Structure 1
């Protein structure tokens, strides 16, 4: 008579609130509850009395600490529902509430096991690994909506092997577009294409002439074949990483899908001895003519003919420098020749009023109702905000913007730079006006010096800017708020006329502390 076999399944314990440990605990807890239900199915026991509660699954000291510092509740008042909710708050979100690079995680960790000879099992394991990664990193909420389902399918396709990926993507683009957001259709498509690829690879192996294996005789006179070299995953004569072009189990020289140009490009891209510049261009090195000038002097004079042979046309460069650039329609709308300049004084009220009246007349000419002319003039002259050129205005009455340096930040001081003569003249005149107005002053001992970047405008003049990239790298990021378009549209929903005005040199109107 056979003896019954008894298995004892212990309830898993929680000894740490780490997210990875809690994910594993939920998995084991689910198995424990299902196994207990099976044991109680044929008997009269109540599962709630047989199974171990969630509260008793916590380590006593850990539970006391959580009640004291995290939840602020008495240990006696805890329920299983409350504890499970706290556990899911941790497991359903990503670790440390910091969103990792989702695409990078799937790119590095989602891989199809090509060593599995069972094609269907290989595909199922691949999709199962995808779901495991989603649960592992707490991405479940990202892929619940229609947009999330589409993004999940995109990640699955992106991580497929190279040859299979191109086949599946081609089918999705032209034959099965519904697979872009239907994971089940995508699974069926990947399974079919994986089978087709396996059939093609087997046919290629049979069609390609294989090298004859050398026979040898042992001491007994029997003929034995040389064993396959150990340490290789595939058959002998197959590259370890597959074809450089399609990813199949053959060399790129034997690839039936690659053209001669494709084979050459694939070999260059995967040749570690080829420089990066050659890989990017795909061109072979060309022979160029070199001019060697004999002489021991460090300075020498070159004629115009010799400069032209070297590709240097001085006269052409002078012409380009003298002729202003043509205005580009894609440039900034306010980047015109009549941009307001910096002067020593502001305009008087009468001059400002005359210019505002001209703007009103232009608005009427563009379609503004003439019957509202007086109201438009009243609104335009209500505040003192019009300037044609900036002068010695009082400072803006705004709180200063405060910047905070990163720990360990050191002052940045750039080296002297050389500028063309016309740029130096522009910078001298521009900065002399700023000094005269009292906006800036010269400080030879400043520890912070950033380079000036004069930018040529479409009208041929220059705009003075500064390179703040090195300084910004030392400053803590300031988190700003993006405008909410629906709210902005709600504010102006009843407006009938709109105007566009230039905020003249706004960077001089911001105090900095």
Structure 2
């Protein structure tokens, strides 16, 4: 895991250092709250809680609340293969209600500041953003209608886990941990030669992503292949992974700490 974690040392100025320290402090607070919740609600002993606190604080730099300003995971970027005869597809501008327009503008500006998209009005491909509601009332999410480019894409092959078979590793286990990637696909690099294919059109111009988008043809297979590259032989022994969700399992707390 550490070998794939972006190296952020030595690349920030004084203001950047201040921001980095503030972000780390916020992450440490969240981690300590998680340990406290495990003590109160999940039966974590005082001794194991102390060990877990020490471990999490030691590796706090691999945890994030967001990925703004961070480079992608250090793996081979995904490169899209187009079907023979494919030609660029550009959508028409969609209409959005005022609330969706406000959200779309704020969200795209945030993505641009984070280096996750860039303005590219010369793009010959462009798909339409869709604004959809999230679980909590009033919360919105931007998705990209990637159907036009997906129809032109030769899909990559990668086996997804058989969950019924994978769950057999839980036999005899009694303690567990779960981990989740921050912002999931936004951590995965999209090859520069393929970025333009996933451009999207807004009322303020066309933007091109630098990372993998949820919904693109190869996103699921590529994400699962990255998981295998990162965790290797640990998978299907005491670690299960479905895309950006990880489950660790062991028979004793000591074994679980060794795995973690």
| TM-score normalised according to structure 1 size | 0.31
Distance 1:489 1:457, change over 3 A: closer
Between structures 1 and 2, the one with greater helix share: 1
CA offset digits 1:387-430 (Å, max 9, x no partner): 22332122221111122111101111101111011111111111
In the alignment, does 2:39 pair up with 1:364? yes
CA contact (8 A) 1:352 1:386 kept: yes
In the alignment, does 2:27 pair up with 1:376? no
Tell me by how many angstroms 1:350 deviates.
2.8
In the alignment, does 2:152 pair up with 1:474? yes
Partner of 1:388: 65
Give 3-state SS (helix, strand or coil) of 1:454's partner. Answer: strand
Distance 1:495 1:349, change over 3 A: farther
Tell me by how many angstroms 1:501 deviates.
4.0
Tell me the number of residue pairs that the alignment of Structure 1 and Structure 2 aligns.
170
Partner of 2:108: 431
Ranges in structure 2 where 5+ consecutive residues have no aligned partner: 1-18, 192-260
CA contact (8 A) 2:67 2:114 kept: no
Give 3-state SS (helix, strand or coil) of 2:118's partner. Answer: coil
CA contact (8 A) 1:347 1:388 kept: no
Equivalent of 1:504 in 182, 185, 202: 182
Tell me by how many angstroms 1:346 deviates.
7.8
Alignment of 1:257-268 (within 5 A): none
| TM-score normalised according to structure 2 size | 0.59
Counterpart CA distance in 2 for 1:440 and 1:506 is 16
Counterpart CA distance in 1 for 2:124 and 2:64 is 35
CA contact (8 A) 2:80 2:154 kept: yes
Tell me by how many angstroms 1:486 deviates.
6.1
In the alignment, does 2:26 pair up with 1:351? yes
Distance 1:358 1:429, change over 3 A: same
Counterpart CA distance in 2 for 1:346 and 1:439 is 22
RCO higher in 1 or 2 (8 Å CA, sep ≥ 6)?
A: 2
Counterpart CA distance in 2 for 1:373 and 1:466 is 42
CA contact (8 A) 1:345 1:392 kept: no
CA offset digits 1:79-99 (Å, max 9, x no partner): xxxxxxxxxxxxxxxxxxxxx
Tell me by how many angstroms 1:503 deviates.
2.5
Equivalent of 1:401 in 46, 61, 78: 78
CA contact (8 A) 1:346 1:391 kept: no
Give 3-state SS (helix, strand or coil) of 1:381's partner. Answer: helix
Ranges in structure 1 where 5+ consecutive residues have no aligned partner: 1-343
